[in-house]
């Protein structure tokens, strides 16, 4: 399986990093080895001094699809959750400055955290509140209605380039409030007030 991630999909986050509003979705990928296994804590790698959390709504693909039309996109995912796209921001800044690919900073082991899956049918996915708490304080809080590109638009765009397969995941971008984690921190994620994710940082 593959993990496709959307960058710069909330105006508030684009501005906080000083980037430009994209004219089409910004895509990058993480390999399956990046998936965080909930049993253990997240260990900050020794090659970075600045790992940021990015809380994002994640959808799970449940049908094979290519060139999926926006109006049919909803048939291709039935579950979603809140995830964290851990990012080594210091490494990413260096790579970006040199015009190099971001993978080392975005696709490393344990960098894709996934919460408990929820059924799409139980929610209106285009209007979902989600929140991330760091040590009990809300650091990210937004709603999917603030996305620049909607989930159906994202599915349409991604599937023009990459065949979507059962089990593939799409991280749909993070709102503002991203920040650094330190050893000893605790992250908790919520969808509509329900806790779906918990990570201890070491
Ligand atoms: Zn992200």
Task: State the distance from the centre of ligand 1 to the C-alpha of 163, rounded, in angstroms.
Answer: 21
DSSP state of 52: E
Task: State the distance from the centre of ligand 1 to the C-alpha of 86, rounded, in angstroms.
Answer: 7
Q: What protein residues have CB closer than 5 angstroms to ion ligand 1?
A: 54, 85, 174
Task: State the distance from the centre of ligand 1 to the C-alpha of 13, rounded, in angstroms.
Answer: 10
> Would you list the domain boundaries of the chain?
3-200
CA distance 124 to 57: 13
CATH superfamily of 3-200: Fumarylacetoacetase-like, C-terminal domain (3.90.850.10)
Q: Which residues contact 3 (CB under 8 A, 6 or more apart)?
A: 29, 30, 31, 32, 34, 35, 112, 168, 169, 170, 171
Task: State the distance from the centre of ligand 1 to the C-alpha of 57, rounded, in angstroms.
Answer: 10
Tens digit of pLDDT per residue, the chain (202 long)?
A: 999 999 999 999 888 888 888 899 999 999 999 999 866 799 999 999 999 999 999 999 999 999 999 999 999 999 999 999 999 999 999 999 999 999 999 999 999 999 999 999 999 999 999 999 999 999 999 999 999 999 999 999 999 999 999 999 999 999 999 999 999 999 999 999 999 999 999 9
Task: State the distance from the centre of ligand 1 to the C-alpha of 42, rounded, in angstroms.
Answer: 17
Task: State the distance from the centre of ligand 1 to the C-alpha of 26, rounded, in angstroms.
Answer: 10
pTM beyond 0.85: the answer is yes
């Amino acid at each position: 399986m593959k993990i496709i991630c959307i960058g710069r999909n909330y105006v508030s986050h684009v501005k906080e990093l000083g980037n430009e509003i994209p004219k089409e979705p910004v895509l990058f990928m993480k390999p399956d080895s990046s998936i965080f296994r909930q049993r253990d804590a997240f260990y900050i790698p020794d090659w970075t001094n600045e790992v940021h959390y990015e809380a994002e709504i994640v959808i799970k693909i449940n049908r094979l699809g290519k060139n999926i039309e926006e109006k049919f996109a909803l048939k291709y995912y039935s579950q979603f959750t809140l995830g964290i796209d851990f990012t080594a921001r210091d490494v990413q800044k260096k790579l970006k400055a040199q015009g190099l690919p971001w993978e080392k900073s975005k696709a490393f082991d344990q960098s894709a955290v996934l919460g408990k899956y929820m059924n799409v049918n139980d929610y209106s996915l285009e209007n979902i509140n989600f929140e991330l708490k760091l040590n009990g304080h809300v650091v990210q809080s937004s709603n999917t209605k603030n996305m620049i590109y909607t989930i159906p638009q994202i599915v349409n765009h991604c599937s023009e380039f990459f065949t979507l397969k059962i089990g593939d995941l799409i991280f749909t971008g993070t709102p503002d409030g991203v920040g650094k984690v330190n050893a000893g921190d605790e992250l908790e994620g919520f969808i509509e007030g329900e806790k779906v994710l918990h990570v201890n940082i070491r």
